Chain A
Amino acid sequence: MKESWISCEEVITRLFDYLDREMDSDTSAEIERHLERCHDCFSRAEFERRLRERIATSGRQEAPQRLRRRIKNIIEHF
């Protein structure tokens, strides 16, 4: 916190903007530098990042054969 311009509190507040890449590149770089130095914020960012990966994985689900057949049928009749 002493070394960085940006405080831990601010990093936490803006963490999701950072992970979503919804901020300007200067702020993003500043947060990145902070995360390199601050273990607490780094662990938290890693946690949120991993959770996010798990959430993203939930968008993959084996499609039932029934659906595959149905789609094949639809396309055949186009």
Chain B
Amino acid sequence: MATGTRLKVPVSQPRERKEQFEKQVTCLMDRLYGTALRLARHPDDAEDVVAETISNAWKKLDQLDDLSRMEGWLFRILHHTFVSQWRRRQCRQDREVELEPGDNDNPFSLFEKLHQPFLLWWGAPEKEFMNALLQEDISKAIDNLPDAYRIVIVLVEVEGYSYEEASRLLDLPMGTIRSRLCRARSLLQKALWQQGHDAGLARCGGHSPGNTSGGDV
């Protein structure tokens, strides 16, 4: 129902298209919300991101010829929506804190921590650790990452973006994506180790209390 005039917001999409749009959005809702929650951290903010995403997507729906390709398109809009909201909020101070250089030549490795020689009696400690790890432990560790690191982890590990796609979306050089990702993984694994340690998952030395290991992280 084109009106002939150039409207920024399509006043009416054909009914069928609208129904299809709604159907797909409904199917993707758990992933849209989940991704938004990992990005924005707070449920209310995540809901706002999803709502704005849907409005933005509707405004741009004319650009999408093939509705079957809506999924990837919608998630790109979600990330754009979040990133632009985040840029608006972000102040200079935050940036400096987040860009503190880390030791990327020597990233923290959960696997290595779990494989210390004195733990060998324990069978396959990394499998035990993984099995005992709760989904909420992982969410918590991601949520605690500084924004700049959390965003790359969500893009690459949750959404499966290539470094190049992440680089374009965030308007950062590939090298920056790479180093942030490395730092993000290191921080994430360290947090999981610490959380696991606190929860008694990595029973370093079995009954021996205190910090035989991991206390220095």
A22 to B158, CA, bound (A): 16
Give A3 Cβ to nearest chain B Cβ, in Å.
23
Q: Contacts A55-B158, A63-B29, A66-B47: A74 and B37 contacting too (C-beta < 8 A)?
A: no
Known A-B contacts A59-B34, A63-B33, A66-B47; the reply to A51 vs B110 at CB < 8 A is yes
Is there contact, CB below 8 Å, between B158 and A64?
A: no
Given the complex, which residues of A lie within 8 Å of B157, measured CB to CB?
A: 52, 55-56
Residues in A with CB closer than 8 Å to B85 are: none
Cβ contacts A62-73/B at 8 Å (1 or 0 each): 111011101110
Q: Are B33 and A54 in contact (CB under 8 A)?
A: no
Contact partner of B29 among A54, A57, A68, A78, CB < 8 A?
Answer: A68
CB neighbours (8 Å) of A75 from chain B are 18, 21-22, 25, 54, 58
A58 and B38 contacting across the interface, CB-CB below 8 Å: yes
Q: Shortest Cβ distance from B141 into chain A, in angstroms?
A: 9
Total number of A residues with any Cβ neighbor in B under 8 Å: 31
Q: How far is the CA of A34 from the CA of B161 in the complex (A)?
A: 26
B86 at the interface (CB under 8 A from A): no
Give chain B residues whose Cβ lies under 8 Å from the Cβ of A61. 30, 33-34, 37
| Contact of B3 with A by CB under 8 A | no
The closest CB in chain B to the CB of A66 belongs to B47
A16 & B185 in contact (Cβ 8 Å cutoff):
yes
Residues from chain B with Cβ under 8 Å of A37 in the complex:
none
B 35-58 to A, binary, CB cutoff 8 A, 1 in contact else 0: 101100001000100110011001
Task: Report the minimal beta-carbon distance from B148 to chain A, rounded to whole angstroms.
Answer: 17
Q: Is the CB of A58 within 8 A of B30?
A: no
Establish whether residues A44 and B111, one from each chain, have CB atoms under 8 Å apart when the complex forms. yes
Q: Decide yes or no whether B93 CB sits under 8 A from chain A.
A: no
Any A CB within 8 A of the CB of B176: no
B31 touches A59 (CB 8 A): yes
Tell me the A23-73 residues at the B interface (CB within 8 Å). 43-44, 47-48, 50-52, 54-64, 66-68, 70-72
Partner of B126, one of A43, A63, A67: A43
Q: What 5 A-B pairs are tightest by C-beta distance, nearest first?
A: A61-B34, A59-B158, A63-B33, A63-B29, A60-B34
Which residues of B does A touch, CB under 8 Å? 12-13, 18, 21-22, 25-26, 29-35, 37-38, 43, 47, 50-51, 54-55, 58, 110-111, 124, 126, 130, 133, 135, 138-139, 142, 153-154, 156-160, 162-163, 181-182, 185, 188-189
Additional A-B contacts beyond A54-B133, A57-B135 (14; CB < 8 A): A20-B156, A22-B162, A43-B124, A55-B142, A55-B157, A56-B157, A58-B138, A59-B38, A59-B154, A61-B33, A63-B32, A63-B34, A64-B33, A67-B47
- Listed in ascending order, the chain A residues whose CB lies under 8 Å from chain B are 16, 20-22, 43-44, 47-48, 50-52, 54-64, 66-68, 70-72, 74-75, 78
